[in-house]
Amino acid sequence: MTPRVREILSWYGSENIGVLTNMARMMNTGKLAGTGKLVILPVDQGFEHGPARSFAKNPDAYDPAYHFELAIESGCNAYAAPVGQLEACARDFAGEIPLILKVNNSDVLFGSKAPISALTSSVDDALRLGCSGIGFTIYPGSQHRKQMYEEIAQISQEAKKAGLAVVIWSYARGEQLSKEGETGIDVIAYSAHIAAQLGANIIKVKPPTAHIEQAEAKKVYEAQGIKVSTLAQRTEHVVKSCFNGKRVVIFSGGEAKATPDILEEVKQLAQGGAFGSIMGRNAFQRPKKEALELLKNVMETFAGKTLN
C-alpha cells in the first residue's frame, strides 16, 4: 500500500472499510497500481449506441471476452459494463480484474431531451458477480433529475452497506442546456460537484470546453478570473470543484478520435490533476495491438513515467 493510495483513502472517512477495500483494490491493480491514478475500461456502448456502432469497426469487440482480455492485458485498474456483458464471461475471468457493474443503462431507440436511464441490475447482482463497485449515470439538467438523484441515493446506500464503491457518471443534458453547454466548463464542474454531493466515491465527467453556459456562472468566472483557456486549467478547476480535489475525478475519452489527439488531451488532463481516464470507444474500436499501445501511453502519461 503506497502512501498516495493511503492518502486518497483518508479522504473517505465516512465510508466503511468494505468501500475502502474495494477502492484500494482498484487503485492497486494494473500498471497504475499504487500511483493513485486510474484507467478504467468501460463497455456499455453496445447498450447505449447499439452493437454495430460500437463493435463493427473492430469486430473482435463483439465478443464480451475480448473486453476482459483487453482490460487485463493493458493493465487497466478496472472494467465496467452492464450486467449481461459481465455475466457472459465473469466466471472465466473471476478474480483477474476489479469489476464495476453499470447498474443503469439507456438506449437510443427512443431519444429524449428529458433523459433517464433504466435500472437494469442491482447490488445483489454486483455481489454475486464479485464486483468492486457499481456505476450509475445521472443526467443533471434533465427534468427527471429528482428521480435519478433519489435512485442513486437509495442504491448508493445499499451498495456502500455491502462494501461496494460507487462510481457516478455525471452527464448534464436537458431541455434548458445547449448542445455545447453540456460540456461547458461551468456545467461540467457543476455536474461533477453534484456527483460529489450525492456521495460518489469516483466521479466520471467529460473533458470540459472553455464554453460557459450559464449567465450567472459566467459573471463569476469573469469577475474572479478563473482560468479556463487550456484543458489543463479546466481540469484543475473541475477537480477543485470536487471537495478541493479530495474526490477521485476521472474523465471520459468521448467520441473516437485520432491517437495524437487523445494523447494530447490526456496530457492536459494529467497536468490539470485528473485522477485518470475512463476510455471505451477509443480503446476497443482500435485493433487490439493499437489499443494496447494507446492505453500504455495513456497510463504512462498519468504515471508521469515509463511503465513496463
The CB density around residue 89, as the number of other CB atoms within 10 Å, is: 17
Length of the chain: 308
Q: In Å, how far from its chain's centre is CA 214?
A: 24
Q: Looking at beta carbons only, is 110 or 306 nearer to a second copy?
A: 110
Rg (CA), the chain: 18
Q: Looking at beta carbons only, is 186 or 265 nearer to a second copy?
A: 186
| Annotation marks residue 204 as catalytic | yes
Q: Looking at beta carbons only, is 163 or 267 nearer to a second copy?
A: 163
Active-site residue among 37, 102, 160, 204? 204
Strands 202-205 and 118-119: unpaired
**Cβ of residue 264: shortest distance to a second copy, in angstroms?**
25
Q: Looking at beta carbons only, is 122 or 297 nearer to a second copy?
A: 122
CB within 8 A of 171, min separation 6: which ones?
137, 138, 139, 140, 182, 191, 205, 206
**Nearest-angstrom CA–CA distance, 36 and 27:** 6
* Torsion sign (Cα): 112, 114, 115, 118: negative
**Nearest-angstrom CA–CA distance, 282 and 41:** 10
**Cβ of residue 222: shortest distance to a second copy, in angstroms?**
10
**Cβ of residue 163: shortest distance to a second copy, in angstroms?**
5
**Cβ of residue 303: shortest distance to a second copy, in angstroms?**
20
The CB density around residue 248, as the number of other CB atoms within 10 Å, is: 27
**Cβ of residue 301: shortest distance to a second copy, in angstroms?**
25
**Nearest-angstrom CA–CA distance, 58 and 186:** 36
Residue type (1 letter), 253: G
Q: Looking at beta carbons only, is 173 or 298 nearer to a second copy?
A: 173
**Cβ of residue 232: shortest distance to a second copy, in angstroms?**
17
Q: Looking at beta carbons only, is 35 or 142 nearer to a second copy?
A: 142
| Annotation marks residue 171 as catalytic | yes
**Nearest-angstrom CA–CA distance, 75 and 33:** 9
Active-site residue among 66, 79, 139, 171? 171
Q: Is 207 helix (H, G, I), strand (E, B) or coil?
A: coil
C-alpha cell at 204: 466520471
Q: In Å, how far from its chain's centre is CA 255?
A: 14
User: Known catalytic residues?
Assistant: 171, 204
